[in-house]
Chains A and B, each alone.
Chain A
Amino acid sequence: MKNPDLRNNLKIILLVASWDLMKLKNQKVFLAMRIAWFTLQVLVFARAISYIVSQGILAYTGGVDYYYFYLLGIYTSLLYSTSISRGYVVADEFDDGIVEYHLSLPIKRSLFAVGRVLGCSLSTIIFTLPMMAVVYAILKVSNFLSILLSLIFALLFSIGIVGFVLLLVFAVRSADLTDILVGAIDALLVRLSTVFYPLPVIEATGIAPYYVAALMNPISHLSDFLRVLVFPEYYLVLRQGIVPTIVYMVAFSMGFLVIAIEYYERKLEAGGWK
């Protein structure tokens, strides 16, 4: 290059660019997660989409339009991420040392744990109530019992998720690690569920771990339960029937609630993350 100014400017631009390139090496986990998600999307979930497109969907949803199927799935997914964020408030409080104040209060810790889980779950339900109203309005759901059962099981689901987050927060005691874990679990749980893909479609992909994960996933259970409440014909899709789902939902919520209480009462000690 003959022009020294141009060469100098180019050098400066490259030096400035190296600032961002330098940061890349500190984002190995982020990069690895992106690669993993992309690979998973291409190898696993794309197959489910391909199957839906090639075979037609109605046979796999018990005749329920995919749009309606999707609406209850996306509501469940929203309920899940709101429960996570409400539970994560406790992590913020841990970070700010507020847990020390809570641990010093003249109440039984088991009751405090129940109160916190219930508080986070109820606030999740209140927060997501308008979204539920929108979905149920589109679906023209007016049956009181269906709405009541939807709310009860949404609350049970939220209790389980919040209990799980509290356990994670107390056990990990690191804001960064909790962020990474919650992000990874969030991405996996929603994808490995029946939120977007009906269970028979997942089964048809022929990837056994994907099918088992979707079958064991609380998000699958709630979204399918809500679908059966609104569209009884969807019941035909659930090979195992609805009773195991009800048992699963109750066990899931109570299980994580009890573990969170146990942890809060016996093992939790202050000494914040900072």
Chain B
Amino acid sequence: MKSKAVEIVNFTKKFGDFTAVDNLNLEIYENEVFGLLGPNGSGKTTTLLTIATVYKPTSGDIYVFGHSVTREDYVVRKLVGIAFQEPKAMWIDKPYDLLTWHARIVGYSMSDAKKIVREVMELLGLWEHRNKQFYQLSGGTRKKVELAKVLIQKPRVAILDEPTAQVDVLSKHALWDVIKKLRDEGTTVIIATNDMFEAERVCEKIAIIYKGKLRAMGTISELKDSIPRGDVIEIQYEGSRIPEKLFASLEEYGRIETQSSTLRIYVEKGEEKVLDVIDLFRKNNVKILRIMVKEPTLDDVFTYITGAKLREES
């Protein structure tokens, strides 16, 4: 059985009168890629920065492998590495110097630091930029420098705050592979994102946070299945009408919409029902030209749960 990497217990964080996170409870298990999904200002970054001991909880606590961020912050910091949303460097800093210093701080000897920095910079395509000053780097390259810090550190818990924001599409795919590799090597990865495609592509489990509160949590399929009749079985059939008997049978599965020779049935767990639907068509001698099962997107899940559109909120 997997152990808890991070346990968030009744965590509240206030800045003056503003409540950024309100009584959050969450468990993240070892070797998961866990996503915090929510629009900007939902409390994702505040939660991540508190796990990294950069913020202190107003109330409640967070435990990393059983160590409290309030009482054992130093122990927690040795377990956690973070790639910030905004790259942390002064405009005159050079990536190579910055990463070598970081490697030394996280415990590498000078010769090992040089080796690992080169390795990671080459992996992320940063080597040619090593001696440029930060202001000369593109937004995407700066983000890669942030990610490089975590890859060098190889922490037990890696926190990545919007790791691929400002990164071009090709590099995004490469970075997602790097993140998965990090997980495969034994690191628990927590990603904050408002990119649904990224969340679906990388995360095994997702928590939806909105206005400082946890709204839902589960695997992607669990979240999608949480929308009542959120799946759509779309069938294109031969002919202009289907027999009434078949229509009545299909209605038992869910609401039906028809448009010329296309029929849509709104069902739960569409992947399980689709074979029954095909069977019904066959028994009624109606030929299916095309059939597909559409799942709701995470955007649909977010809208269903919060009543808001993720894209608009972000």
Contact = CB atoms under 8 A, between A and B. Distances in A.
B18 to A, nearest CB: 11
B53 A100 contact: no
A96 interface: yes
Contacts of B81: 104, 106
A100 B56 CA distance: 12
Interface in A233-274: 269-271
Interface in B60-90: 73-74, 77-78, 80-82, 84, 86, 88-90
A93 interface: yes
B292 interface: no
A96 B78 CA distance: 24
Interface string A104-135: 11111100000000000000000000000000
B49 interface: yes
A103 B84 CA distance: 12
Contacts of B82: 104
A12 interface: no
B105 A100 contact: no
A183 to B, nearest CB: 23
B88 A106 contact: no
A81 to B, nearest CB: 21
Identify whether the interface residues of B are mostly helix, strand, loop, or mixed.
loop
B15 A271 contact: yes
A105 B74 contact: no
Nearest to B51: A104
B55 A104 contact: no
Q: Nearest 6 CB-CB pairs, A to B?
A: A101-B88, A106-B78, A104-B52, A106-B77, A270-B54, A103-B54
Interface residues of A, number: 17
13 contacts: A97-B86, A97-B88, A98-B89, A101-B88, A103-B53, A103-B54, A104-B81, A105-B105, A106-B106, A106-B153, A108-B74, A269-B56, A270-B54
A90 B168 CA distance: 33
A98 B54 contact: no
Nearest to A105: B105
Contact of A106 (B56, B89, B105): B105
A138 B78 CA distance: 52
Given A100-B49, A105-B105, A107-B77, A271 B89 contact: no
Interface in B197-218: none
Given A269-B55, A270-B49, A104 B86 contact: no
B195 to A, nearest CB: 22
Contacts of A105: 77, 105-106
A104 B90 contact: no
A139 B50 CA distance: 56
Contact of A92 (B52, B55, B78, B90): B90
A93 B78 CA distance: 23
A96 B90 contact: yes
A181 to B, nearest CB: 22
